[in-house]
């Protein structure tokens, strides 16, 4: 039996929509949303820890913390990460890896906390080169590795980078001892297509030379509308960490405000067969952790870890075990009857006070009709 069990995956959004880099493929840049504003969390890190306690969530969870811009620009984020780690959770932080002071501060965390901490270092090669930040970037990664945290290095493969592939490989082998993982860049509009002049097939072929399980798995789910029963909303959740607004998944129903009354259980409802997106563009984590249990997906660690030339790994043993978890191992799957009920509740949609009476009557009628 595995000694690490994960109850839920909680994807947290932090509303910093500014950054010290200006990558043209960035999702904030695509929507022209740079606002140069930092914000204050309205609650203390200790309060946020209590709102997200192991007992309230039903077990140890895996958190992902990602801002609209650079996550670590807001200093408060570090204190929240520390509190979540103290609670016993596993935490992933998405960063551009350039803010050295933040990493120096994190390096002072106790070893047992760093053992549950993971960074996704986005590798924005052209911006790092333009701003003369490549050295600082690799030093920050080295510092986190030496301190005992886990990490991955990931490229958003923009067409402009294609002519730099050899350069990127050379510097990665020299500084990291392994090649970065590769995601799929997307246009954040319409049916969310690949952000490239190439067809998806050509694009994957170009970037497959990095031998990344991430782009391989993502290419199998990219553009595929999910119709299966998905446990997002129950086994995974999408949380605005600043406001406390909790929803099922991207575009899913609002479920609860986790800060409103932290003595109460958190409301959940699986999205079932009602996924709102044209395709599960972050399925490398949601589907790999098993939100659709019958889907054959590689474990998440395969898309994050690398074994370096010197034999060291990007993931610590405990982070590797955490990322090998499937959520069904810690959660009960629904019967067919329960799935029908869940789908029905989703169809009714957001319950406003005005529609609560109608909703209750519909539920009553549904029960009386024998859940046809």
Residues of this chain that interact with ligand SF4 (CB under 6 A) are 226, 230, 232, 249-250, 271, 275, 277, 280, 283, 286, 291
Q: Which of 160, 119, 121, 135 is nearest to 25 (CA)?
A: 160
CB 89 within 8 A of CB 65: no
Least CB distance from residue 12 to ligand SF4, whole Å? 15
Least CB distance from residue 27 to ligand SF4, whole Å? 15
Q: Which of 135, 230, 215 is nearest to 180 (CA)?
A: 215
Q: Which of 220, 210, 9 is nearest to 123 (CA)?
A: 210
Separation of alpha carbons 70 and 17, rounded Å: 8
Least CB distance from residue 28 to ligand SF4, whole Å? 20
Least CB distance from residue 221 to ligand SF4, whole Å? 9
DSSP state letters, 22-70:
--TT-HHHHTT---------SS-HHHHHHHT-HHHHTS--EEEEEESS-
| Rounded (10°) angle between helices 134-147 and 165-176 | 40
φ/ψ bin of 251: left (φ > 0), alpha (ψ from -120 to 50), beta (otherwise):
left
CB 257 within 8 A of CB 244: yes
Least CB distance from residue 295 to ligand SF4, whole Å? 9
| 229 vs 259 by CB, closer to ligand SF4 | 229
| 117 vs 249 by CB, closer to ligand SF4 | 249
Cβ count near 309 (within 10 Å): 10
| 179 vs 348 by CB, closer to ligand SF4 | 348
- 97 DSSP β-pair partners: none
Least CB distance from residue 309 to ligand SF4, whole Å? 35
Least CB distance from residue 142 to ligand SF4, whole Å? 34
| 224 vs 307 by CB, closer to ligand SF4 | 224
| 97 vs 272 by CB, closer to ligand SF4 | 272
- Which token pair is 241? 């960490």
| 105 vs 338 by CB, closer to ligand SF4 | 338
What are the phi and psi torsion angles at 256 (to 5°)?
-170, 165
| 17 vs 291 by CB, closer to ligand SF4 | 291
| 52 vs 271 by CB, closer to ligand SF4 | 271
- 246 DSSP β-pair partners: 239, 256
Least CB distance from residue 77 to ligand SF4, whole Å? 24
């Amino acid at each position: 039996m595995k000694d690490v069990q994960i109850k839920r995956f909680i994807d947290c959004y932090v509303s910093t929509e500014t950054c010290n880099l200006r990558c043209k493929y960035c999702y904030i840049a695509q929507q022209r949303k740079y606002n140069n504003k930092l914000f204050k969390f309205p609650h203390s890190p200790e309060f946020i820890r209590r709102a997200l306690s192991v007992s309230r969530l039903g077990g140890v969870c895996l958190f992902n913390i990602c801002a609209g811009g650079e996550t670590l620009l807001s200093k408060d984020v570090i204190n929240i990460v520390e509190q979540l780690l103290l609670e016993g959770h596993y935490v992933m932080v998405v960063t551009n890896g350039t803010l050295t002071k933040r990493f120096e501060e994190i390096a002072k965390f106790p070893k047992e906390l760093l053992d549950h901490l993971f960074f996704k270092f986005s590798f924005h090669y052209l911006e790092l080169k333009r701003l003369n930040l490549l050295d600082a970037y690799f030093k920050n990664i080295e510092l986190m590795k030496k301190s005992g945290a886990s990490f991955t290095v990931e490229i958003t493969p923009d067409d402009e980078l294609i002519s730099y592939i050899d350069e990127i490989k050379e510097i990665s082998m020299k500084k990291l001892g392994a090649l970065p993982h590769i995601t799929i860049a997307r246009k954040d509009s319409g049916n969310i297509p690949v952000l490239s002049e190439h067809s998806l097939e050509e694009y994957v072929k170009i970037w497959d030379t990095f031998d990344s399980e991430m782009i391989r798995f993502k290419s199998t789910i990219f553009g595929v509308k999910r119709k299966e029963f998905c446990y997002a909303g129950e086994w995974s959740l999408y949380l605005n960490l600043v406001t406390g607004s909790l929803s099922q998944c991207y575009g899913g129903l609002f479920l609860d405000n986790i800060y409103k009354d932290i003595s109460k259980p958190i409301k959940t409802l699986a999205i079932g067969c009602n996924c709102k997106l044209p395709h599960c563009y972050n399925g490398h984590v949601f589907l790999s952790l098993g939100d659709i249990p019958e889907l054959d997906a590689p474990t998440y660690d395969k898309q994050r870890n690398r074994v370096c030339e010197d034999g060291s790994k990007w993931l610590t043993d405990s982070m590797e075990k955490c990322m090998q978890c499937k959520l069904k191992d810690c959660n009960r799957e629904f019967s067919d009857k329960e799935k029908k009920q869940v789908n029905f509740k989703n169809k009714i949609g957001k319950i406003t006070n005005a529609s609560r009476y109608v909703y209750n009557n519909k539920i009553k009628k549904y029960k009386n009709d024998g859940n046809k």
